[in-house]
Structure 1
Amino acid sequence: MQRLGSMIHQLARYRSQWEGLMRAAATNEAPLEPLKTALQRLVETENFGVNPGNLRMFTYAPPELASSPGLVVVLHGCTQNAAGYDLGSGWSVLAERYGFVVLFPEQRETNNPKRCFNWFQTGDTERDRGEVASIREMVEIAIRKHGIDRDRVFVTGLSAGGAMTAAMLATYPEVFAGGAIIAGLPYRCATSVSEAFECMFQGQTRPAGEWGDLVRQASRHRGPWPKVSVWHGSADATVKPINAGEIIKQWTDVHGLSTSASRSETVDGYPRRVWVNDAGEDVIEEYIISGMAHGTPLATGNDENHYGVAGPFLIEVGISSSYHIAKFWGLTGSIVSQHKPSLRAESLADGQARTRQEDRRGRGKDVPSPIPNVGGVIVRALKAAGLMR
């Protein structure tokens, strides 16, 4: 009983810290509600196929695609939705300018009350199971519908979406040519709620070989491996920056590289480290954004390489992570649209309310997830923290 009491106390402390950070971000960042968005740009595909994770599927395909178009899967963070994260990150605007397709899986509140992807649940992060299987199914649908080049499929995400990006790269490495993990965590850093909190707020240190083994054990794939871009704020109090270093250890080991970078440089005022393979290809990059809290780095405005709109967890720091990630993947080689597309007007607040209303109506069948039998008080605490369905 003493151990149970200690566990409850620790989880309550983590929950309080988590909710405080969520409130602070919503208060301190410029609100997105007054801004205009292109919610109409995203098209939902209902009943898209096998969906064990009970997720929603949204896509944007620009009017004109590049030859051999690419596909970028974009995973939002906790408390966000597909349309809001698209507006903030600028991915559909990038897609229209460079002629690729974007796919936005969206979490349901019935799966996670904070709309976090369940990156810490083994049933959602093992190949052909749960949420990763649903996202893989969406990718296949998008590839077939839009004539996507299978060698140009990528995935990125923020926070819980970043951790789920790591899961997609580990469980389906043959599907993705590259991934970008923003304020995320290494694959299999956590396989329980308590471990999830510990990884976020403290970090977990392991030898590179152990991290790499977790990826190698996730599938039968033995290479080639996806390129990986890692972004993290040095002042992130929600997901500690130590996680960026552990992600680097995991993927340098998978690629058979030293943890020491091949070269270092400065991009838009921030340090960039690069790892190069034996073929001379840049296969891993890392940006640590000095002074930035938890969120996606943005450079907003009308300049050539500026994309997105600042808001909660979408932070103006003078560098567009979305643009530089797309460039790292080779998606910015040729411009399809000579002018940056304008977004049609609808408030994000209206769109988020509409999404929540549709979520409560439960498009498709909401599949309940089993709750561990660890006592009602623990279950209620974890649900309230958004870390259990």
Structure 2
Amino acid sequence: MKNRIKYSLLLLCIISKLFLFSADLKERVNFGSNPGNLKLFTFNDSLAKNKPIVFVLHGCVQNAEKIEELSDWKKAAIKNDFVVFYPQQKIINNASNCFNFLLESDINKNGECLSIYQMIRYAIDTLKVDSTHVFLYGASAGACMSEVVCANYPWLINTAAICGAIPYRTYAGLKAVNLLGKTQIKPAKEWGDLVRNQNTFYSGKYPRIILALGTEDFVTDYGYASEIIKQWTSVHAISAQPTDSVLKFENNDKVERYVYGKGKETLIFYKIKDVSHTLPVDVGNGEKQGGKDRIFSTDINFFLTYYIVKDFGLIK
């Protein structure tokens, strides 16, 4: 209840700051026709040739700068020499500044999904980033939109990290917003078919998935963790039972880490105990520390971004 009150009281404050940006982030406007009417901000892209790239997608009532403040991707990009792109929603498209992962007009190789595709193509074709090392990271609505991109353009994405999400195509239509906190249970094949049906003739590889979800999440119900695992293990044709697990990961009793896919870590699940719809951070200047403790983040002495960068294979 305290989290709900905290969440509600600060929404207006956050919305009022949606247009404040750091000079470190550069806006790019000529990345394509942009049918979804999104903005794009970039970091560390002046010498992008052959570098990996991470696309960071914000959650509702956030923007590029706010998700950066919480997740500290700039710090990781500088240390490990990769490019960061921040797609950003406009309030004219969604009153809560959420990516429209529920709208058919934005999730079928059209609208916002197509805009993000154009950003990826711009990075590959114009900036010449390493096309084999294109990664997605999303929080909440940004996580769900990351799944949309993975389902529509799987050949472009190496790995996607999704934090606080529901399975791809759980719902369609704005009325579904009120149902996000109620887990919908389906057979693994049915979940997987929702992804496969986006490219019925595609037989190539699908992106690896890194999932993080808090056990006390009241926005995207924690029960969706098992459904997301069922969906993406079905897509990868691997068992939905973990091949490895650490119940006290990095000696932190709030973090459990599960691996699916023997020898490949095809899917990784970070179970974050006693945490709601927030990003885990570890405020500080240490190598494995970062992020800020804000309304959409919680300091549990575990900086999730660092471990995602490591799981991406980008730690130098």
Q: Does the TM-score normalized on the shorter chain lie above 0.5? A: yes
Partner of 2:35: 52
Partner of 1:86: 68
Q: Does 1:217 align with 2:197?
A: yes
**Higher CA-based Rg:** 1
User: Where does the alignment leave 5 or more consecutive residues of structure 1 unmatched?
Assistant: 1-16, 335-389
Partner of 2:81: 99
Task: State which of 124, 142, 160 in structure 1 corresponds to 2:106.
Answer: 124
Partner of 1:173: 154
Counterpart residue identity of residue 276, structure 1? G
| Cα-to-partner distance string for 1:146-184 (whole Å, 9 max, x where unaligned) | 321111001111111111111111111001001011001
| Cα-to-partner distance string for 1:102-154 (whole Å, 9 max, x where unaligned) | 11000000000110000100110112x01010001011112234321111001
Task: State which of 151, 158, 161 in structure 1 corresponds to 2:139.
Answer: 158
Deviation at residue 312 of structure 1 after TM alignment:
1.7
Q: 1:54 to 1:274 in 2, by over 3 A?
A: same
Q: Does 1:40 align with 2:3?
A: no
More deviation, 164-173/264-273: 264-273
Per chain length, whose mean CA-contact separation is higher, i.e. which structure has more relative contact order (CA < 8 Å, sep 6+)? 1
3-state DSSP of counterpart to 1:86: helix
Aligned equivalents of 1:143, 1:96: Cα separation in 2: 20
Partner of 2:291: 308
Q: Normalising to structure 1: TM-score of the pair? A: 0.74
Q: 1:159 to 1:40 in 2, by over 3 A?
A: same
Aligned equivalents of 1:141, 1:108: Cα separation in 2: 20
Task: State which of 32, 44, 52 in structure 2 corresponds to 1:70.
Answer: 52
Is residue 298–residue 320 contact of structure 1 (8 Å, CA) maintained in 2? yes
Counterpart residue identity of residue 177, structure 1? N
Aligned equivalents of 2:10, 2:277: Cα separation in 1: 12
Partner of 1:325: 308
Is residue 297–residue 320 contact of structure 1 (8 Å, CA) maintained in 2? yes
Aligned equivalents of 1:164, 1:229: Cα separation in 2: 14
3-state DSSP of counterpart to 2:156: coil
Is residue 160–residue 184 contact of structure 1 (8 Å, CA) maintained in 2? yes
Deviation at residue 63 of structure 1 after TM alignment:
6.5
Q: 1:61 to 1:145 in 2, by over 3 A?
A: farther
Deviation at residue 295 of structure 1 after TM alignment:
1.5
Q: 1:165 to 1:275 in 2, by over 3 A?
A: same
Q: Does 1:274 align with 2:259?
A: yes
More deviation, 257-266/172-181: 257-266
Aligned equivalents of 2:95, 2:30: Cα separation in 1: 22
User: What are the within-5 Å matches in structure 2 for residues 5-16 of structure 1?
Assistant: none
Q: 1:229 to 1:43 in 2, by over 3 A?
A: same
Deviation at residue 21 of structure 1 after TM alignment:
6.8
Is residue 69–residue 99 contact of structure 1 (8 Å, CA) maintained in 2? yes
Counterpart residue identity of residue 275, structure 1? Y
Aligned equivalents of 2:45, 2:76: Cα separation in 1: 10
Deviation at residue 62 of structure 1 after TM alignment:
5.8
Partner of 1:256: 237
Aligned equivalents of 1:283, 1:263: Cα separation in 2: 12
| Cα-to-partner distance string for 1:289-328 (whole Å, 9 max, x where unaligned) | 1000111111121111112112121221221111111111
Aligned equivalents of 1:225, 1:294: Cα separation in 2: 27
Aligned equivalents of 1:213, 1:22: Cα separation in 2: 35
Q: How many residues align?
A: 307
Aligned equivalents of 1:216, 1:196: Cα separation in 2: 24
Q: 1:28 to 1:108 in 2, by over 3 A?
A: closer
| Cα-to-partner distance string for 1:32-84 (whole Å, 9 max, x where unaligned) | 999xx97111100124212111000111016676x831110110000000011
3-state DSSP of counterpart to 1:41: coil
User: Where does the alignment leave 5 or more consecutive residues of structure 2 unmatched?
Assistant: none
Counterpart residue identity of residue 214, structure 1? L
Task: State which of 162, 166, 170 in structure 2 corresponds to 1:185.
Answer: 166
Partner of 2:93: 111
| Cα-to-partner distance string for 1:324-350 (whole Å, 9 max, x where unaligned) | 111111111x2xxxxxxxxxxxxxxxx
Aligned equivalents of 1:264, 1:229: Cα separation in 2: 14
Q: Normalising to structure 2: TM-score of the pair? A: 0.91
